[in-house]
Amino acid sequence: METGLHRVARRLPIAGALACLLFAGCAGAEDTDTMDHKTPQQAAAEFLPQVEAVVAGLSIERESIEVRANRCEGAQGETRDDLFYVWVGLRGRAPGNDIAQQIEAAHARWQQQGWDIGRFRTLDNGGINLTATDPATGNTYTLDSGFKPAPDAYLAAFFNTPCFRSPEGKVAFGELHLPAA
């Protein structure tokens, strides 16, 4: 069992990488002139404790985790080498085969915290999909269940920051390797 998000033991499968690309549109930038300036490492280091707090509310055994700097789009759909967002993908299993109930509990917590719920649905196979944004930070959190081979236990989770502009210019997009805390 992995003990922290700073430790990347295994890469997510191709499905995780595809989901990363699919969710890229969720992290679009509205005004590139007024966005926060951070390096990918700074943004990830600030974001990971927030992700860890969300994950701590789940009883799961982590199978894999990946932290990436992904390209952002500007308000007009433009892309630039200095615009990025941090994406964290996590895969795990609930040993109690109760991941749907855990996601429902997360939904209730997030509603109580005033988060914007973008998606909350139950699938035909009993899986739950939940996406919410913390209005205080702009961070988006997605928890999905219902996947084979263990629809009652398997979790795929994706976490995104809003867009940032790198003060160093061009960003090396892809996996980020951060020092252990």
d(CA 79, CA 41): 20
pLDDT at 68 over 80: yes
Mean pLDDT over each residue of the chain, to the nearest integer: 84
Domain spans of the chain, in order of start: 40-175
What is the predicted pLDDT for the residue at 67?
A: 97
Q: Would you place residue 15 in the very low, low, confident or very high pLDDT band (cuts 50, 70, 90)? A: very low
Q: Is the pLDDT of residue 74 over 70?
A: yes
Residue 88, beta-bridge partner list: 67, 159
pTM for the model stands at 0.81
Q: Which CATH number fits domain 40-175: 3.90.550, 1.10.600, 3.40.1000, 3.40.50?
A: 3.40.1000
In the block, tokens 């996996």 appear at 175
Percent of the chain at pLDDT exceeding 70: 80
Question: pLDDT band at residue 181, thresholds of 50, 70 and 90?
Answer: low
Judged against a pLDDT cut of 80, whether residue 11 lies above it is answered with: no
Q: How far is CA 149 from the centre of its chain?
A: 22
